[in-house]
Structure 1
């Protein structure tokens, strides 16, 4: 028989065999997924379907740029369930809305100014969300140290103790420790896995905890006693931070009232004398005066925030 015919028949049989194996694997995967969904539905937990992502084309193109990667890293530290494409579209839509509203209610000159302030506000929102998540994580550190100490005293390995803490603690500590447990499961070292948490949620308390765990994993030692002493220290620092935040609450409100007073004064002037802002911003000297006044309001806000910021 012709060798070419034999080769064709062999390739056809091999392709048919691969198709059979592929169909079998697909059917087995479908059956496993159906069983998993049925088991989760019986236990009352939501099935792993996930949220439908919007603006996929924008997200795909944005992730290929340096700006998109920066936004992705920024969103990862905030814990927001948003993709870079969704965040960009929402920010641009909000900036356009603020631009149009400012131009309609104040004057056309305030449209671009409001747009720039909107872009700054988007970045400030991410920073605030990150600081808020970091603060929540710091408040969970005493409980985390206590769980690790109890698990280590019971004879469990540090990797097992971290997985146990990830299951018992709520977000954000539970989510971050789940990432650490996943990385440890695929072969990452404890220093690398815990170091990523310190980079995403920077704080002195977390750095001390990570250093204690890394040193104990490297050189051994009385990790239980160290974690129990660290638990007491973290509790004391937690109370100190709460007292300082309470005492500085009035100063914080004052910092936000400064720009609010400036915006309210503009609205008041435009309400008392309709068209005054149009006439004022129609000349170069009026535009300069508005920009200088906005700069002073922003400087007052920054200075008050700096003066009221106390690192513990």
Structure 2
């Protein structure tokens, strides 16, 4: 036997096995990543899956999701219902911060560039909290319907997993989307307790915690949950009306909290427009910079004080 041909055949076989092994490893890793995303409630975007179009900044998103900041941003975004990945959000926020820095530095004074960027970071956090709170409020509004559907389904003899899937199909967003995510996690093998606890962590509210606790206890104890859910439905209806009345009464206070800082910003723009370069001369000395920071701090304290006075937990 020719040793050269034997070596060539062994090389070809080894190369083929290496290529096949690499292909199997890559496909297995992709399936594992997809399964992990589905378990974490971050499956591939449905629009991208239907159209075959990849999401922008996918590489940034993958790298960012490996960090603690990326995971925190992803958790916040998943609770807001926005059609954004953590990478997209961070890229857009970075672009907005750069624009704010340049606008503040050119229109006011260079000293206000970093301050505008910090305010932009704070504004991004406020935006996420506002979107999250808005989704929580919408979900709370639908909780009586959720409890009613679950009570009717369990009264008909359906299992809790089936009842949750049926409620997800019947309800509109955001309750339908959140319950569909819970149903998908149950289908993938997660326990009812873990899936419902993650839902309560994603959309924290007293009403949802009570509902989740009722369902978890009923699932563990195996008792009848119909009577508890029907009583809970009436309680949630009353709380929904109370929350609506309180929110209407506090709308003026919340508007005032945002109006006060805007008045301060307007006064800065007015002073600089009436006297060209006034803010640059004021912030040219350490004393002027300290006074400007003190004024901004007072406006910030006023904002939080007004918000705290207008915050009533129902």
Same fold (TM over 0.5): yes
Distance 2:183 2:222 in 1: 20
Q: How far does the alpha carbon of each residue in 1:273-308 deviate from its partner, in whole angstroms, 9 at most, with x for none?
A: 121111111111111111000000000000111111
Is residue 302 of structure 1 aligned with residue 296 of structure 2?
no
Over 3 Å counting, the alpha-carbon distance change for 1:125 and 1:51 in structure 2 is farther
Q: Following superposition of structure 1 onto structure 2, how do residues 83-102 of structure 1 map, counting pairs within 5 Å? A: 83-102=85-104
User: Could you tell me which of 242, 246, 249 is aligned with 2:248?
Assistant: 246
Where in structure 2 are there 5+ consecutive unaligned residues? 24-46
- Give, in angstroms, the shift of residue 233 of structure 1: 0.4
- 299-308 vs 149-158, greater mean Cα deviation: 149-158
Is residue 187 of structure 1 aligned with residue 177 of structure 2?
no
- Give, in angstroms, the shift of residue 187 of structure 1: 2.4
Alignment partner, residue 111 of structure 2: 109
Where in structure 1 are there 5+ consecutive unaligned residues? 23-44
Distance 2:207 2:175 in 1: 13
Alignment partner, residue 58 of structure 1: 60
- Give, in angstroms, the shift of residue 225 of structure 1: 1.3
Q: How far does the alpha carbon of each residue in 1:158-181 deviate from its partner, in whole angstroms, 9 at most, with x for none?
A: 111100000111111111111111
TM-score (norm 1): 0.84
Distance 1:151 1:291 in 2: 59
Over 3 Å counting, the alpha-carbon distance change for 1:124 and 1:195 in structure 2 is same
- Give, in angstroms, the shift of residue 100 of structure 1: 0.8
Distance 1:200 1:285 in 2: 46
- Give, in angstroms, the shift of residue 46 of structure 1: 11
User: Could you tell me which of 191, 216, 231 is aligned with 1:229?
Assistant: 231
User: Could you tell me which of 202, 205, 213 is aligned with 1:203?
Assistant: 205
The DSSP-based 3-state class of the residue aligned with 1:48 is helix
- 288-297 vs 271-280, greater mean Cα deviation: 271-280
- Give runs of ≥4 in structure 1 deviating > 6 Å: none
Is residue 142 of structure 1 aligned with residue 144 of structure 2?
yes
Q: Following superposition of structure 1 onto structure 2, how do residues 150-161 of structure 1 map, counting pairs within 5 Å? A: 150-161=152-163
Distance 2:50 2:102 in 1: 41
Q: How far does the alpha carbon of each residue in 1:206-247 deviate from its partner, in whole angstroms, 9 at most, with x for none?
A: 000011111111223331111111011001000000000000
Aligned residues: 280
Alignment partner, residue 33 of structure 1: none
Alignment partner, residue 77 of structure 1: 79
Distance 2:231 2:67 in 1: 46
Over 3 Å counting, the alpha-carbon distance change for 1:204 and 1:275 in structure 2 is same
